[in-house]
Structure 1
Amino acid sequence: MAQQAYVRDTDDEGSRPVHRGDRLRRLLARYAAGWRERRTWRRGLITAALALASAAVMAGHAFIPNTVGNLGSLVETFLPWLGLSVPLLLIVALARRSASALIAVMVPSVVWLSMFGGLLSDKTGSGGDLTVVTHNVNADNLDPGGTARAVAAAGADVLALEELKESAVPTYEEALASGYPYHEVVGTVGLWSKYPLSDARSVDIELGWERAMRATVDAPAGRVAVYVAHLPSVRVRLEAGFTAGQRDESADALGAAITGERLDRVVLLGDLNGTMNDRSLQAVTSQMRSTQGAAGDGFGFSWPASFPMARIDQIMVKGVEPVASWTLPATGSDHLPVAARVSFDDAAS
């Protein structure tokens, strides 16, 4: 007959040994009683306030002004990362045994899921009429030939490269010549294609030098206007905040150029130095769709390559349907290449 295990502790009267199961039940009962006490609602008010503030920033990011250091755009660049506040605040709420904090933490959870939950599902489809890749190759890339071959291995029909160093252009041309018989380079951006290119020209994005271009790709499924752009970099400085004024002006100019495009099918490839959440890119984002948001799996962060924190390299479309979107393995650049497959809309001409 099995013997029951007892601990050395005794009950309140000191006369009877306490069974381990009894002690566990008493501890759980005391813990539960602590939650029922009135002070559990008074504890954790600071945690609750932080949770509500996090939810307010996420839901109301558009109301954060850009007048001081472009604070609104800075928040919007890293907006998805505010979701990290939820597990941290949840741990604090549990440790404090605060009912009010626990309830408050649910608010940013719901807000974050409503904003970004759709990105967590895999929306990748099959098929497609055109595969495109864009990559900021980094002017200081020590292995341009290797980078070109790595990106070409993705099998893209159209390949856009940004931040091309003039002295490295021949290396890229040589490495890509066999797979891409058609190409155009304008300033520091270039376009390589398996299909004929026509009407290639520079696009003025108000910089004084060439960092954007446009060309028509005569793909088997139809003609499509392809834009390649590298908007100015942004910086975060203590004395000036998020310095993005030049980038914002260039985004407006790029948006105006796309608005005036004659073809119905348009694909934008490039390093926009901004995310789809950044209001300052609205001239572009208001008229085009992100392939990652429509047909990707996850956030598709592309920068920095060592630990991607934001998707600033974009593939955007209008007049065609995104089928799939993904990032490629790291190259010698500080950006990850991004790729997408698109299907041509029969209604487009």
Structure 2
Amino acid sequence: MGSPQQQKRVVKNRMTDNNLIEVKSKFDAEFRRFAIDKDGNYQFEDFHELVEKLHQLHRIPFVITYTDPAHGDLLPINNKDNYLKAVSTARPLLRLQVQRKGESYGEVNGYGSGPMKRKNPISKLIGTGEASPKPRLRIGMPEEFRRVSAIIDVDIVPETHRRVKLMKNGSDKPLGFYIRDGTSFRVTTSGVEKVPGIFISRLVPGGLAESTGLLAVNDEVLEVNGIEVMGKTLDQVTDMMVANSANLIITVKPVNQRMTLAPQRGGYGRHSQLSNKSQQSQQSGKSYDSDDEDDVQELLSADYDKPLEDRNKSKRKYQPLRRYSLAYWLGF
């Protein structure tokens, strides 16, 4: 152990060295103190082996958690990302708690649950007749929990568009979608024009794009990492996506516009009476299929006994909806 003066000298050297972080690890009733490099030369695998060696946990599965200095929560250390996060938040001591796998408080009682309330001994003897609480489901600690997608720039991108960020986090897993060329419609000063466009043709089952739920078949690709795809060939867009596959940001125009439109600030809400009426009129005008034919025919057959002039009024009543539905489909 050494003399008290030697111990003070060691602690002083550790505190003066800014490149080292002092770690205090607890397993059951034993404590271990050691230091690690602050610059991140230690990898998570090396750190895991060091803790295993210090506490002699060979062939014993265990869980490592650290105390968040800001809020006092126990957070896991089980991959490279949260290991670096724990090292960066050490102020100045990093407190570790090592527990056997399956015996940690979070695994037994569920993560995010508070301590169980103690009942009054008298209430146990009397008995309230309440049913015994159901056993909690044991939720395991996530091993590789990383963000794989996000919707960004919501204040910049128009409401009818969506900017999606796909993150592979260094894995070899493909993005999981195919693109094709097709024809898109653009509204110009001279009217509606047909222009070539790039669309998502297929999503690979179980792939990254399908698992996020932010992309769909027939979504039109507008930008790739801030570069517009208008005027580019399919091969050029493919090369752009492959080059930025590690951190891909694409701006799309979803084929399902119901998922993108949001209520405007200061205006009528999405669920207001006025917006509901307009939404119903848009939906009735947007659907241009045989159901509308049946509705018109049923209305005409119901008005068959009326004079010819009244029946013509019914026909004129439905014609503007037909023209509106075609204009809505073209993107007006």
What is the TM-score when the length of structure 1 is the normalising length?
0.20
Instruction: Return the index of the structure with the highest Cα Rg.
Output: 2
